Chains A and B, each alone.
Chain A
Amino acid sequence: MNIPRKLKLLAFGACLAAAALPASAEEYPKFDYMPGKELAIPHVSGDAKFSNTYQYWKDEKALEDAKKSGKMSHEMNYKDFRWAVKSFDAEGAIDIGRGYYNEKNAKGQSCASCHGAEGKKLKGIYANYPAYNKRLKRVVTVPTQIKACATERLGFDWKENTRQNTLIDFFVGSLSDGKVVKIDATSPGPIKASYERGRDLFFKRGGHFNFACASCHTPPAAGKYLRGQRPTTFFGDAAQYPIYHFPYSLPGDDFEYVFTLQHQIKSCQILSRIYPGEEGSPAMTDIEVFLKASANGYKMSVPVAEYNMDTSYLD
């Protein structure tokens, strides 16, 4: 009777393992996650596994066809409005951002000194951010990159939560309009690690309500009515940030009504009563990497109209 003995050994081993577990569990608490974490992939087409609406909004033509065939906005996961329609109200804010971009310090230097007039050398880069900064040895969002440049090279105190930073971010974002988002979150490296941490944070429950980001931004909540709001899945939307967010702004803030993706995450945290992170902090950056990589393969559209003015196909 060999097998039972082996089984006994196995059981003994399992007991040992179980006894060893609590110690490590203390160091890494077991968080509560919303379901769906393992289905997330770093490409916009991954939405098919969540809302199964990707076919209606994957490009301009698909959108047109879906509208013509009588699809309602909520049946398209609310992806129909925003990206195809440009915002003209935002031009003024971009101009102010351009102004800061050209603002000279005492030595006569500005962002333009290195990056070229009209941001010539920054065209398209927004589609590849967040990126790993070798000198800072961390993954950075564009606002964090702007902060590093401004404080270290120009002597301007333009942190991620300042008006100048946000409006320059908007200006730089607009230079990548039409570019396809491409964040490599599959090759081993800091971006992949950041994506995975961000994904875990996105699905992790917390706050006063014990909600995760995923509580609103995965089905069945996505595509439904959250009273006045219309939550959608986490795929694709990052390609439209920074966004001209009239008439909302964070309470007490004045960003000329511009929301970077960092502000958006913070705003969501406040609304769902999770202690809000600092813009540009490692955790917030990880969440942005996750969201931006979930827009891989999707076209950037900045500045975009935030609201759909065509209500004919809204419920």
Chain B
Amino acid sequence: MKFGFKQRYLPLLVLAGSLTVGAIAPSSAEEAPKWVPGEQYPRELLKNFPCHDYDLPCGKMTSPPVERVEFKGPLKGDAERGEKIATNLRWGNCIACHALPKHEGGSIGPSLKGYAHREMPLDYTYQRLWDVRFYNPNAFMPVYGPNKVLTDQDIQDVMAFLYTK
């Protein structure tokens, strides 16, 4: 019995074909939910961060490495947008832990009322907002930058809000 090229490789072709389909199918279904800041964070996306489970891959993930960032300025932020970010429960939510200019808030973090008058260097504030662990590894603040809670522009907007005298 002799098989031509096609017959001989047909099973392989079928296999390869089904593999391709298999590879394509998830990616087309992969249309990962996107987080719209200000709305509830999609649960599926939480699988990308360390979790408590023993069987899921997220159970073996580790925290992102500390990111040192430098801010050279000048500060280009929209203070009004920054205020929205800082006070929105499902966005920056700074208000949960900090009292803010023009707003009462939580008492876990230090009050940021009158922050502008403290004349803190921009670079310092930017680093604290991007990844607080650079200054305090045991801090309770979210790692806004490395885990993409806030973007570079978001942080500049929050800074513009904090630095408004």
User: Which residue numbers of A lie inside 8 Å of B, CB to CB?
Assistant: 29-32, 34-35, 201, 204-211, 215-216, 220-221, 224-227, 269-270, 273-277, 281-284, 287
The reply to whether the CB of B108 lies closer than 8 angstroms to some CB of chain A is yes
User: Which residue from chain A places its CB closest to the CB of B60 in the assembled complex?
Assistant: A29
Interface residues of chain A: helix, strand, loop or mixed (majority): loop
A220 to chain B, nearest CB (A): 7
A208–B41 contact, CB under 8 A?
yes
Q: Given the known inter-chain contacts A225-B107, A227-B95, A275-B58, please indicate yes or no for A210 contacting B63, CB distance below 8 A.
A: yes
User: Which residue from chain B places its CB closest to the CB of A231 in the assembled complex?
Assistant: B108
Q: Contact partner of A287 among B49, B52, B64, B147, CB < 8 A?
A: B52
The reply to whether the CB of B53 lies closer than 8 angstroms to some CB of chain A is yes
A29–B142 contact, CB under 8 A?
no
B95–A207 contact, CB under 8 A?
no
Contacts of A281 in B (CB 8 A): 53-54
Interface residues of chain B: helix, strand, loop or mixed (majority): loop
Contacts of A29 in B (CB 8 A): 60-62
A281→B52 CA distance, assembly (Å): 10
Contacts of B112 in A (CB 8 A): none
A208–B46 contact, CB under 8 A?
yes
Q: Given the known inter-chain contacts A206-B49, A206-B51, please indicate yes or no for A276 contacting B43, CB distance below 8 A.
A: yes
User: Which residue from chain B places its CB closest to the CB of A202 in the assembled complex?
Assistant: B52
The 4 A-B residue pairs with the shortest CB-CB distance in the complex, in nearest-first order: A206-B50, A209-B142, A275-B51, A275-B46
Q: Contact partner of A283 among B45, B46, B54, CB < 8 A?
A: B54
A201→B50 CA distance, assembly (Å): 11
B residues 18-63 near A (Cβ < 8 Å) are 41, 43, 45-47, 49-54, 56, 58-63
Contacts of B43 in A (CB 8 A): 270, 275-276
A215→B109 CA distance, assembly (Å): 12
B43 to chain A, nearest CB (A): 7
Contacts of A224 in B (CB 8 A): 106-108
Contacts of A208 in B (CB 8 A): 41, 45-46, 49, 142, 147, 149
Contacts of A269 in B (CB 8 A): 51-52
B132 to chain A, nearest CB (A): 10
B residues 98-138 near A (Cβ < 8 Å) are 105-108, 138
A34→B95 CA distance, assembly (Å): 22
A120→B39 CA distance, assembly (Å): 48
B62–A30 contact, CB under 8 A?
yes
User: Which residue from chain B places its CB closest to the CB of A206 in the assembled complex?
Assistant: B50
B54–A273 contact, CB under 8 A?
no
A6→B37 CA distance, assembly (Å): 60
